[in-house]
Structure 1
Amino acid sequence: MAMTDLLRAEDIKKAVGAFAAADSFDHKKFFQMVGLTKISAENVKKVFHILDKDKSGFIEEDELGFLLMGFSPDARALSPKETKTLMAAGDKDGDGKIGVDDRRALSHT
């Protein structure tokens, strides 16, 4: 399954482009722009599984750094600061990774 099966390609392109500059990433704005806040919980879960590259059931910090590339292969990696900020926002139980149960809090914050 591709990200464009769940989200509109033009929304993905616009959202990725809006945060092309280093240290400009704002997860709340990005998730809103890309359309994650408008899709069903089941589809948010599918997006989560696309981003979970190692299929561990969690998005670890190293995977999180490549979040934008999960939406568009030509996007940039997140900076270490952006990655840590996003991890802090999504890791609600403090275990150092974002689990499938944390995903809705992250995409709907």
Structure 2
Amino acid sequence: MAFSGVLSDADMKAALDGCSAADSFDYKKFFKACGLSGKSADEVKKAFAIIDQDNSGFIEEEELKLFLQNFGKSARALTDKETKAFLAAGDSDGDGKIGVDEFAALVKA
């Protein structure tokens, strides 16, 4: 698993279990449940790099849709509604994607 060594398997499972139903994803609850909100700035940057699958320096909408699968291979994809809400919450400069600083702010929100 990509987050091994950064987050505990038990915390990731608990976070994923908390949003297993469609349209139940809440990024604030998820980041708190998986333990990411309590991590250092460097660890949050490592998490960003894992989620930024194409290494563009940004998390785009397609990467957000598959966000949960970074935490567990069998996790569901986010619904379009969840993906758009997540993007809107994180995209503070309105460019349609989430940069590393925007992601850090979202994690700590």
TM-score (norm: length of structure 2)? 0.97
Stretches of structure 2 lacking an aligned partner (at least 5 in a row): none
Paired with 1:101 and 1:27, the residues of 2 have a C-alpha distance of 16
2:91 alignment counterpart: 91
Paired with 1:4 and 1:28, the residues of 2 have a C-alpha distance of 21
- Pairs within 5 Å for 1:55-66: 55-66=55-66
Paired with 2:93 and 2:35, the residues of 1 have a C-alpha distance of 25
2:108 alignment counterpart: 108
1:25 alignment counterpart: 25
Stretches of structure 1 lacking an aligned partner (at least 5 in a row): none
What is the deviation of 1:101?
A: 1.6
What is the percent sequence identity of the aligned residues?
55
2:67 alignment counterpart: 67
2:37 alignment counterpart: 37
| Secondary structure at 2:4 match in 1 | helix
- What is the aligned residue count? 109
Give every structure 1 segment of 4 or more consecutive aligned residues whose post-TM-superposition deviation is greater than 6 Å: none
What is the deviation of 1:27?
A: 0.5
Paired with 2:105 and 2:28, the residues of 1 have a C-alpha distance of 11
What is the deviation of 1:18?
A: 0.9
What is the deviation of 1:2?
A: 2.4
